[in-house]
Structure formats: structure tokens, C-alpha cells
Amino acid sequence: QVQVVESGGGLVQAGGSLRLSCTFSGLTFGNRNMGWFRQAPGKGREGVSCIRWDGDMTDYIESVKGRFTISRDNAKSTLYLQMNNLKPDDTSMYYCAVRKYTYGRSTLAAGDYDYWGQGTQVTVSS
């Protein structure tokens, strides 16, 4: 059974930083693309960042470029999202997700991912 667990969310002032972590079990980690998504109340889920299975390719939505960094530690089966210079518009529930299929191209499309965590709340105060 695949388990995906996010952590690291919290309340932070604008300009502050948080690092989200996501651990995976029940599947092989090092050969799968992964991503971070967020969903605010009343809005759709949007892809924030993704990383290819080998860590050599990453992508970000425009609004977080230069502020967020996605990374992975295959030895620890853990995905990270370092978030700096946070803004109130970043307030959302953040989810990590992994594809069922191995290798391939990583994307920011939520429909391309099969296993999801329960989410961790990030709140940025102004």
C-alpha cells in the first residue's frame, strides 16, 4: 500500500521561509517523477513544482520561480519544497504527489499523478 505523508507547514509572516517534506512508502522512489501542488479554498488545485525521477529536471509555476526550490533525497525516499520570501498569496493547502508509472517526463498537471498525501497547511500573514 502506497503512503504519502507531507509535513512542515505552518504559519509564517510574509517574507519568511518554510521547508515542506514528503515521505513515501510502498513504492520504489528513485525512478518516479514527483510534484508539489496547492489548493486554496474555493480554487482549483494547481501544480507548484515538479521534479524528474533523477532530479536533473525541475519546473515551477511562474509565481514561485526564484523563491521555491524542489529537491529530492532518493536515499531517504523524501521530497522537499524549500519556500523562501513567502507571500500571502502562497497561503494554501500543499500536497505532494507521485506517479504510478516509472520514469518519463515530469509535469505540473495534477491528472498525471496517482498517489497523493493528505496535505499540509501553509498560512502566510501580511
The mean pLDDT of 79-87, rounded to a whole number, is 98
* Mean local confidence (pLDDT), 18-41: 94
105 phi-psi bin (left φ>0, alpha ψ -120 to 50, beta other): beta
Task: Please give the Cα distance from 77 to 28 (Å, whole number).
Answer: 8
Predicted confidence band at 19 (pLDDT cuts at 50, 70, 90)? very high
Region 54-69 average pLDDT: 96
Q: What integer pLDDT is reported at residue 106 of this predicted model?
A: 87
The 10s digit of each residue's pLDDT in 34-48 is 999 999 989 999 999
| Cβ-contact 4, 119 below 8 angstroms | no
Count of residues making up the chain: 126
pLDDT surpassing 90 at residue 57: yes
CA-angle at 123, arms to 21 and 120, nearest 5° = 35
* Residues 6 or more apart whose Cβ sits within 8 Å of residue 12: 18, 86, 122, 123, 124, 125
Average pLDDT over residues 111-125: 96
pLDDT of residue 126: 94
CA 64 to chain CA centroid, Å, is 12
pLDDT of residue 45: 95
Question: Chain centroid to CA 73: how far?
Answer: 14
pLDDT over 90 at 65, yes or no = yes
